[in-house]
Amino acid sequence: MRILLTRPINDSHRIERQLGQSKVNVYIDPLMQIKSLNVLKNDPSDYQALVFTSANGVRVYCKEIQKCPLPIYVVGDNTRVAALKAGLKPVISANGDVKKLCAIIILKLNPNDGPLLYLTGKHVAGTLKKDLEDANFQVNHQKIYTAVAAQKISINTKNLLKQRAIDYIPFYSPRSARIFRQLIEAEGINNLLSKASALCISHEVRKEILSLGWKSILTAKEPTQDSIFELINIKL
């Protein structure tokens, strides 16, 4: 089995390590590069909790901002691991479901105890801020990093596709799927995907790559990394 990973380099290497116990050949071609925006305008200690929906948000926060002993609420286990490795605690995870994250925050926290600081990338999907505000929380949403899109598919990836040497390509967000589609279309190599299958974390992701000539498009039952790889019988 041969898998192409297109997440930012740190995330792709982490997935590569997780796949190390499986009989999988892993290739990496990041579609985005993470860059700090360094724009946090408030002292995190002014808040009752921090909220993250990506491991990259945790990494940038820990690198660029003085850490505070606040509860950390995260969307999934990858973000939880990044937070724990950085020495943040306590960390509460929603196991990859942003709606569940909202429900957990509403259950465990009180709007009267202070605002929440929600730290994300420049491009963020979902309605977490609005959903929390609808539950009477004050949410300061600050974008502390950006994911800069790649300008082209690497030569190695094009050669692998020409050789029909890629079986699966997982996609974790509508934006990454859209970038991949745009680069493939710009190169005029749609036909090289006829032996490859896309693994999509959601139906929103699937919509972004429907126009490409895949062997098949598989969509995860749950919006989690584990569910993506369960599509091909891999347990991480």
Q: Are 108 and 41 in contact (CB under 8 A)?
A: no
One domain, residues 135 and 62:
yes
Kindly report whether the global pTM for this prediction surpasses the value 0.75.
yes
Same domain? 39 vs 17: no
In angstroms, rounded to a whole number, what is the distance separating the alpha carbons of residues 179 and 42? Answer: 32
Residues 56 and 137 in one domain: yes
Choose from 29-43, 47-61, 103-117, 119-133 the range with maximum mean pLDDT. Answer: 103-117
- Specify whether the backbone of 164 is left (phi greater than 0), alpha (psi in -120 to 50) or beta: left
Q: Does residue 106 sit in the same domain as residue 175?
A: no
The answer to whether position 235 is within a domain reads no
Instruction: Please check whether residues 89 and 162 belong to one and the same domain.
Output: no
Q: What is the pLDDT of residue 124?
A: 84
Tally the domains of the chain: 2
Q: pLDDT digit string (tens) for 111-168?
A: 999 999 999 999 887 799 999 999 999 999 999 999 999 999 999 999 999 999 999 9
Number of other residues whose CB lies within 10 A of the CB of residue 11: 23
Strand ranges of the sheet holding 168-171, from the earlier edge strand across to the other edge? 25-28, 2-5, 168-171, 197-200, 216-219
pLDDT of residue 7: 95
What is the span of the domain harbouring residue 74?
A: 34-147
The residue whose two tokens read 């429900």 is 103
In terms of DSSP bridges, do strands 139-149 and 116-121 run parallel, antiparallel, or are they unpaired? parallel
Closest CA to 28 of 157, 117, 145: 157
Q: Does 38 lie in the same domain as 142?
A: yes
Confidence of residue 45 (pLDDT cuts 50, 70, 90): confident
Mean pLDDT for 28-43 is 84
**pLDDT beyond 80 at 38:** no
Rounded-to-5 percentages of helix, strand, coil across the chain: 40, 20, 40
Residue finishing a domain among 113, 131, 147: 147
Q: Which of 112, 147, 182 is the last residue of a domain?
A: 147
**219 and 119 in one domain?**
no
pLDDT at 126: 78
pLDDT tens-digit map of 69-78: 889 999 988 8
Q: Give yes or no: residues 93 and 138 share one domain.
A: yes
- Give the pLDDT of residue 42: 66
pLDDT at position 41: 65
Q: Is the residue at 236 inside a domain?
A: no
219 and 168 within one domain: yes
CATH number at residue 164: 3.40.50.10090
Percent of the chain with pLDDT over 90: 71
Q: What is the pLDDT of residues 208-222, one digit of tens each?
A: 999 999 999 999 998
- End-of-domain residue from the set 130, 147, 164: 147
